[in-house]
Amino acid sequence: MAGLGCDRANIGRMFRFPVSFLAFVVLAAAPSAQAPGDATVLHGAHLLDVEHSLLVTPGEVLVRGNKIVEAGATVTHPAGATVLDLGDVTLMPGLIDAHVHLFLHPGDEDLQTVEESVPERTILAELAARDDLMAGFTAERDMGTEGAGSADTAVRNAINHGLIPGPRMRVSGNAISVLGGHEDAIRFNPAEHISSNADYANNATELIAVIRRQLKEGADFIKIYETGADSLEHGDFHSNYQYTQAELEAAVGETARMGTRVGVHCEGEPGALYAVKAGVASIDHADQLGAETMRLMKEKQIYAVPTFSIQEYFATHAESAGGARQENWLRAYHAAEFKKQLAAGVPMAVGSDVGPFPHGTQAREFELMVEYGMPAPDVLKADLINGARLLGWENEIGQLKPGFLADVIAVRGNPLENISALKSVSFVMKNGVVYRK
């Protein structure tokens, strides 16, 4: 007889309740959150000044409501304030992951969208959001629901209304792809008409129509697959583009009209150059960037989001020795290209592509960026300052400054010297609410 234990992928199959009831179950089972009082003083051994790459000793943050009032070695202690002495820790801004997939979990990605209903996947996304928050990620950009449409809008709204715990979210709904392109159910018999994991748009006119619908459904930004069918030929990396520069310009223009931006899945050239010339906000994955592309990214401040964690995970979990060799080759190739990108001054943000690997474990991305040549202080700026800019919250999160939102975490150790400290989160506050202590 099988054991009674079950993983998250089986929850929805075991309990076929309405979404509203399951959402309540998730909320009831979530870690308790401490609501903000009139004033709270956080005290730790140190405080991280991200902008100046300094460790302030000791460190204190005065929070009133959901805002930071003061931050430094000492702050005002108002009468009646709650004082939380967190001990030998470093206080720092909440982490940012600029590339996540709340609607994915480890296992066969294609089958998840076939075997699991959207309500089931939404429940799993709620759990993923909770896990990321508890790991110290207080803001994220969801780069596509992989076939769940605008369900991430519901998750974002539930988080914003305090119904479930999770990071601040920028969401995109489904990513957009050409017919037969990236994430278009490519492993299935076309005659079976398996739904695509992306929304179709085959030209500029269709791109604009899909963008307008997605924004109406609640998307904060647009995610486009610019490349697909990546391959290795005679030791060289090749990446097919999906949209021309003119088509991407139409998409960027439409999003600009509506006050938002485009982020692209883009592994290499010439798609990367088309996307940069069109004016996208970020090149995600960025395994290969040509010299002109890198020059323009520096000039236009377009971010590369490397996503090394997912490559490492795929390499260590390949189904065959041949698959592992190819993934390891790609990982080594990307690491070498990353060094070139750093030398060229390409601005970086931090994104892990978490989802295909377990949520809440993506601090590994910081370690890999340091391992591949980026100094820890620069990685912290890429995550917190550049990440906040990429998500459009540069005046609200990413630093412990008066007037900024009270997204504060505590880690054991000095992340300026040892980036692995980011894997030791002991305290999480988001928007002035304590979720982990």
Q: What is the largest CA-CA distance in the chain?
A: 71
User: What residue segments make up the domains of the chain, in order of their start?
Assistant: 40-94+403-436, 96-362
- pLDDT in the model for residue 92: 98
Task: Count the Cβ atoms, other than its own, within 10 Å of residue 71.
Answer: 25
Cα–Cα dist 136/141, whole Å: 15
Of 224-238, 262-276, 324-338, 361-375, which range is least confident? 224-238
Highest mean pLDDT among 22-26, 182-186, 221-225: 221-225
Strand order in the sheet with 199-200: 199-200, 176-177, 222-225, 262-266, 282-285, 303-305
pLDDT value at 4 more than 50: no
The DSSP bridge pattern shows strands 236-241 and 227-233 to be antiparallel
pLDDT band at 185 (very low <50, low <70, confident <90, very high): confident
pLDDT band at 21 (very low <50, low <70, confident <90, very high): very low
Cα–Cα dist 302/256, whole Å: 15
- pLDDT in the model for residue 12: 39
Name the nearest CA neighbour of 22 among 164, 129, 168.
164
Architecture of domain 40-94+403-436: Roll (2.30)
pLDDT value at 17 more than 90: no
| DSSP code per residue over 354-410 | BSSS-TT-TTHHHHHHHHTT--HHHHHHIIIIIHHHHTT-TTTSSS--TTSB--EEE
| DSSP code per residue over 305-316 | E--HHHHHHHHH
Within a 13 Å sphere around the CA of 255, how many CA atoms are in the beta-carbon half? Answer: 25
- pLDDT in the model for residue 33: 66
pLDDT value at 104 more than 70: yes
The mean pLDDT of 360-385, rounded to a whole number, is 98
What tens digit of pLDDT does each residue of 245-283 get? 999 999 999 999 999 999 999 999 999 999 999 999 999
pLDDT band at 32 (very low <50, low <70, confident <90, very high): low
Percent of the chain surpassing pLDDT 90: 83
- Write down the mean pLDDT value for the chain: 92
pLDDT band at 27 (very low <50, low <70, confident <90, very high): very low
The mean pLDDT of 67-73, rounded to a whole number, is 98
Of 237-251, 291-305, 320-334, 374-388, which range is least confident? 320-334
| Fold of the 96-362 domain | TIM Barrel (3.20.20)
Token digits of residue 402:
């008066």
Cα–Cα dist 322/292, whole Å: 34
The mean pLDDT of 24-42, rounded to a whole number, is 61
- pLDDT in the model for residue 35: 58
Q: Where are the alpha helices (DSSP H) in 258-373?
A: 271-278, 291-300, 308-316, 321-343, 364-371
- pLDDT in the model for residue 16: 34
| DSSP code per residue over 46-67 | EEEETTTTEEESSEEEEEETTE
Name the nearest CA neighbour of 176 among 135, 117, 217, 139.
217
Are both 40-94+403-436 and 96-362 of the same fold? no
Of 3-17, 37-51, 215-229, which range is least confident? 3-17
